[in-house]
A and B are shown apart, each in its own frame.
Chain A
Amino acid sequence: MCGIHDLTEKDLQPLPYTPAYLDKIKGMRFFDPHVHMSARTTDDYQAMADAGVVALIEPAFWLGQPRTGIDTFRDYFSSLLGWERFRASQFGIKHYCTIGLNSKEANNEALAEAVMEILPQFIYKEGVVGVGEIGFDDQTPLEEKYYRAQLELAKEAGLPVQIHTPHRDKKRGTQRSMDIALEHGLPPHMIIVDHNNEETVKEVLDRGFWAAFTIYPFTKMGNERMVAIVQQYGSERIMVNSAADWGISDPLAVPKTAALMHESGIDLNDIHLVTYSNAVTAFAQSGQINEDDFNIAGNIDQREKFNGSTILRGGQQPRVDKNTTIIR
């Protein structure tokens, strides 16, 4: 946002050309239940909107640089609820978040204590659809302590829990995360176990938890493998996300995976379940998701802005034609 744009209807229209994969998913709507938009540019929001992403969840996580004070945590949580949500609304995307202390930073005990103190102030805010992403990284005693404490918070607030499963010793870490959640009396339908792979999926589904898959190059899942998983396990309680962040990742992973599934002959209804409605069902248990908001996210802000406005899509960002060398 730097300066005045004289918006016309034309500026708000989708791009005149479409990448090939977009043809296959024309008219589909997507919900990306795990994407770290704070680390992404505004161009990504525009591309996501063009590809049919209507809503997303941004889990609180680690920023790459360890935080040293409670105020930076507070500001981070506030930005998930404020600035990021506003940025998304400019593209008609409904932005939700989950709030929690991530596993890496749970290892700084003094800071973790201070974060636990401010969490209750944030988890009841509008559009907070869960406690997350929490769980294990190195599986240390401190990680376990704060994982347990946050499960209690979620239970009290009636919120779903979004569990980050570790990269190292993944299978055992995943089992342990589920065992502990059950120990605290949280029912499996309130737990979304994230970053699954071929090794973990069966047990997660068999025990009645939600199984989320992160389509993320190199370190997590590729989408060809994802197609095979849906072919083997079906679409019940499975969801796909991008987890796009400051690493090499792709905020269009959900629509692209839908396109690949379609190409591979997977039923449209199954595609809809794993790229949209299962995530809605799981996180709507928070009472904070209203699907009616998805199409009109931008307009709601507009109505709040100005009484009786005749402007329908104010606050929306103009489109930039990236195919031209001229920049105006």
Chain B
Amino acid sequence: MAPYVYDQQQMSVWLWAVIRRNGHEKGNEWLAQRWQLHQETATVAQFNQTFTAIPRFTGKHTITITQEEHQLLQEAVPGFFVQGWTLDRLARVWWLLQLAVTDKTIYLDTLDKLFKAAEMNELAALYSALPLLPWPEEWIARTTEGIRSNIGIVQAAIMQQNPYPAQYLPEPAWNQLVMKAIFTEKNIHLITGLDGRANATLALMLTDFAHERWAAGRTVDPLQWRMLTHFTTAANLPDIIRVLQSAVSAEREAAALVCAGSTYAPAKALLLQVPDIAAEIAAGTLTWQSVADKTTRS
């Protein structure tokens, strides 16, 4: 099997163009020099040192990306998203693509050591690179481990706007990711592949979790109900009804969206109780996006 499952060379060229356009002359020059040196000597020590030193030379400002560039990246690796990244993160991800994949053992060992000695921003860059790394199934255990991190930017790099987890994680790890995102107050609307990976076990975990929250007198993120859309059952219908009757408008809207998307007749019938909201859904003015905009968490 080929190491990369997409056109890595082309991706590398595109990312380099985005870096150059966002970087200043000195930083670009330094990166080009390091690249040249890497081509000539290819030592792991130098590779690692460059990876670590990148922010000192590129700076850490947020990049801008044109619609055209965004389109190109999306077509090459669907869901791959660099908007809002800092330049050092982008440069580090690009740099990772420069490591030779001729020997799989050496490659995996090098990355393993980079992960082990990484500080927060390095970890965020490494996890952001997941959708671009070779031998994709080799990173499943590492990603599962990363979800256990307590550091916000590391969690976010894995959970949000990253297509890798939805594509490769087995169901228990995926469910863990979603639950951890909710626990750590992430905007779960930004989890890539949320609808496609919804499942009955997760639906059960989410309703149990809601019961715990309610018992403690706490609120529940309205967006979490989205994952019940295709898993509404007689068992969780009372929960949907409770949310539909909430005093909080975002919760009522979320419950109505679940009912509207459900194929379970008793759930669908609930829409009759909220004709105003149902009309907004039918008109397309009320969507999960609009609920997310209303309730955005970090």
Contacts and interface: CB of A to CB of B under 8 A. Distances in A.
Interface of A: 1, 3-6, 74, 78, 81-83, 85-86, 118, 121-122, 124-127, 287, 300-311, 314-315
B150 interface: yes
Going nearest first, the 6 A-B pairs with the smallest beta carbon separation are A307-B84, A314-B298, A81-B119, A305-B156, A86-B151, A315-B152
B152 A82 contact: no
B178 interface: no
Contacts of A305: 152-153, 156, 160, 298
A6 B219 CA distance: 8
A301 B153 CA distance: 7
B190 interface: yes
Nearest to A3: B183
Contacts of A81: 119-120
Interface in B106-133: 116-124
B187 interface: yes
Nearest to B49: A124
Given A3-B183, A4-B185, A309-B296, A121 B117 contact: yes
B55 interface: yes
Contacts, number: 94
Interface string B183-208: 11101001000000000000000000
Contacts of B213: 4
A158 B152 CA distance: 31
B22 to A, nearest CB: 15
Given A83-B151, A121-B48, A308 B119 contact: no
Contact of B160 (A3, A125, A126, A306): A306
Q: Looking at chain B, what size class is its interface with the partner chain?
A: 35 or more
Contacts of B152: 86, 301, 305, 314-315
B188 to A, nearest CB: 12
B26 interface: no
Interface string B147-182: 000111100100011000000000000000000001
B119 A82 contact: yes
B297 interface: yes
A213 B109 CA distance: 44
B123 A82 contact: yes
B211 to A, nearest CB: 14
B62 interface: yes
B52 interface: yes
Contacts of A306: 84, 156, 160, 187, 190, 298
Given A82-B151, A86-B151, A303-B62, A126 B298 contact: no
B83 interface: yes
Interface string B128-151: 000000000000000000000011
Interface in B215-267: 218-219, 221
A78 B85 CA distance: 23
Given A6-B219, A307-B161, A310-B296, A78 B49 contact: no
28 contacts: A4-B182, A4-B185, A4-B213, A4-B218, A74-B116, A78-B117, A82-B119, A83-B150, A86-B120, A86-B150, A86-B152, A86-B153, A122-B117, A125-B119, A126-B56, A301-B152, A303-B62, A304-B85, A304-B121, A305-B152, A305-B153, A306-B156, A306-B298, A307-B85, A308-B84, A309-B296, A314-B152, A315-B152
Nearest to A301: B153
A85 B219 contact: no
B298 A307 contact: no
B171 to A, nearest CB: 24
A307 B160 CA distance: 10
